[in-house]
Amino acid sequence: MGVARGRCRATGVVAGVLACVLAVAPSASADPSSVAGGASECVPDRSTIAQCFPDKALAQAIAKQVKGDAGKTGEVLTSKDVKGVSYLDFSNSQVASVQGLQVFANLGSMYLFGTRVSDVSPLAGLTKLTALYLSDTKVSDATLPSIAKLPNLQWLDLSGTQVSNVSPLAKMTKLEYLNLSGTQVSNVSPLAKMTKLEYLNLSGTQVSNVSPLAKLMKLSELDLANTKVSDVSPLAKLTKLVHLDLSGTGVLDLGVLHGLSLNNSCEPSVCATSFAGVRPSVKLAVDGDGSVSMPAPRWLDGTVVASSSTSPAGATLDAKRGVVTWKKYDAGASYSYDFKQSFTLKTDGLAVEFSGHVSGVKPTTPSKPTTPGKPTTPSKPTTPVKPTTPSKPAVSTVTMYRLYNRFTGEHFYTSSSVERDSLVKVGWRSEGTGWVAPVSGAPVYRLYNPYVAGGDHHYTMSVRERDALVKAGWRSEGIGWYSGGSVRVLREYNPYARTGTHNYTTDAKEDTALVKAGWRAEGTGWYAVKAK
């Protein structure tokens, strides 16, 4: 992991400032003047910024980044300027055209969310671009073929755009993160070969069939909130899935997912595991004795959930059959019931609500006796949980250093001895080894908040949490380290602090002491190979 970037604010005096450490050097660079597809009127060391970037808002943003002043668009764009840019953030600006950005051959990440951009074809030759955020832009289906030409893209955010057909993205098999929330996408078949996907957000889309996702074995976060999905059995073998949002869907039977190790260990505002407010429509079954029934909700372990109210009133739960039953069928009545129950997840001990409103669909021919005995195919024993093949001993490990800033109260964690030593020199206290991490596995992301006194870091495995924080103004610092092993790294939250709000430890005693002092236990943050 590189050294912490962009925080050279401490010049001798610590006084609550985070630290002044070395900047990460840009990766090996190509000659910008010879980049294929370069801006037609942009020749580094000769052209001005205004000449290179026809869009005025874009030119001003570039001037601010490379010259430190948005008003310096009349200055020459130098080769040094071009080679030094690997990250550009134009989010929530008036930028409407990205013409000219192809000159930045070393560009790795670009944030365009909230802009007026609709065409990204000028970026097609940027072979080092791995992250592209286009949420809430004017991007449509017509834009996707250009995006598909980006050969090394791993993160793509198209949420809130006008996209409806993702077929052009089918060959983007390097994607690890894909956000399509709030789009008009209904068919996810083109995603079937994206086997490297770890995060997929389909919330608020028109998706109803998740069968094409059945082979995405690396998927750890899936958001299906407010979609038309009612059957999640195709997800039963996705054993790495830990965060799943089914709120507002038509899912009634969670028992088919009993083999998954779902957890809720993330910030409440961004946590992806939810089963609240489902709204299934199910067929009414009119039995031979004149009674009428509807399937009852089933929790992850197969527990049948009782209704909290029914319409018409008076229905009872038949737990053996797994149905809510009314004694007599009234062809003129509308049948429905509500339910709400809190369950504790076995993985992290946190509570999750399972609730919703279930509507009955009247049978066309009332009394076919529902072929009693067809036992709701009780949860296919999901090929008894393939034990995620954990026991391969970690091939290689890395020591995670823990430091403390007594001025801000923040604990900081890094695998870089250079970064550790730089921080110690400006007043941080080394607290030795925090834990030992694997050199590969599930990524733990590192973020930085520059807007609080002294700065603050946050670490999470949740892509959704990471992106929510970035949208709120935090700076993504990439992957900090990896999760793997069997030792739990516990996470605590201090609701009374503005910096140092989170603590991470493998020490159960430290966890207990902090909770007693008023911190909130947030379960397992990630896993380590060993404690120290």
pLDDT of residue 532 exceeding 60: yes
CA distance 312 to 332: 11
Contact 525, 461 (CB under 8 A): yes
| Residue that is last in its domain, among 65, 84, 103 | 84
CA distance 318 to 9: 66
Residue type, 223: D
> Which burial class, exposed, middle or buried, applies to 269 when counting CB atoms under 10 A from its CB (0-12, 13-18, 19+)?
exposed
- State the average pLDDT over residues 75-84: 93
- Total domains in the chain come to 2
Q: How many CA atoms lie within 13 A of 132 on its CB side?
A: 30
Is 124 within a domain?
A: no
CA distance 513 to 509: 6
Structure tokens at 486: 């069997």
Q: Please confirm whether the linkage preceding 212 is cis (ω < 30° from 0).
A: no
Is 246 within a domain?
A: no
pLDDT of residue 21 exceeding 70: no
Rg (CA), the chain: 26
Is 364 within a domain?
A: no
pLDDT of residue 37 exceeding 50: no
**Percentage of residues in the chain having pLDDT higher than 70:** 85
What 8-state DSSP symbol labels residue 51? H
Is 69 within a domain?
A: yes
- For the chain, the average pLDDT equals 83
pLDDT of residue 158 exceeding 50: yes
Is 336 within a domain?
A: no
**Percent of the chain that is helix, strand, coil (3-state, to 5):** 15, 25, 60
- State the average pLDDT over residues 231-240: 95
Segment (H or E) for 491: strand 487-493
CA distance 116 to 96: 4
Q: The domain containing residue 432 runs over which residues?
A: 397-528
Is 187 within a domain?
A: no
pLDDT band per the 50, 70, 90 thresholds, residue 272: low
The closest alpha carbon to 320, from 375, 281, 268, belongs to 375
Q: For residue range 412-462, what is the model confidence (pLDDT) as tens digits?
A: 999 888 788 878 888 888 888 999 998 877 888 898 887 777 778 999 988
CA distance 102 to 85: 12
Q: How far is CA 521 from CA 349, 504, 514, in A?
A: 10, 10, 8
Is 480 within a domain?
A: yes
Contact 241, 213 (CB under 8 A): no
Contact 267, 465 (CB under 8 A): yes
Q: For residue range 180-219, what is the model confidence (pLDDT) as tens digits?
A: 999 999 999 999 999 999 999 999 999 999 999 999 999 9
Structure confidence at residue 470 (pLDDT): 86
pLDDT of residue 64 exceeding 50: yes
CA distance 32 to 105: 6
| Residue that is last in its domain, among 15, 49, 84 | 84
Q: Which residue has the tokens 């598909």?
A: 148
Residue 76 or 409, more confident: 76
pLDDT of residue 410 exceeding 90: no
Buried b or exposed e, range 55-67, using 16+ CB within 10 angstroms: bebbbbbbbebbb
Q: Which phi and psi (to 5°) does residue 49 adopt?
A: -60, -40
Contact 350, 243 (CB under 8 A): no
The closest alpha carbon to 293, from 230, 367, 231, 233, belongs to 367
User: Which 3-state string (H, E, C) describes 309-371?
Assistant: EEECCCCEEECCCCEEEECCCCCCCCCEEEEEEEEECCCCCCEEEEEEEEEEECCCCCCCCCC
Contact 144, 168 (CB under 8 A): yes
- The residues near 79 (Cβ < 8 Å, ≥ 6 apart) are 31, 32, 33, 44, 45
Is 269 within a domain?
A: no
CA distance 123 to 448: 27
Structure tokens at 278: 């489902």
pLDDT band per the 50, 70, 90 thresholds, residue 339: very high
| Residue that is last in its domain, among 84, 109, 137 | 84
167-176, 223-232, 493-502: least confident range: 493-502
Residue 290 or 76, more confident: 76
Query: pTM of the prediction?
Result: 0.66
Structure tokens at 160: 């809130």
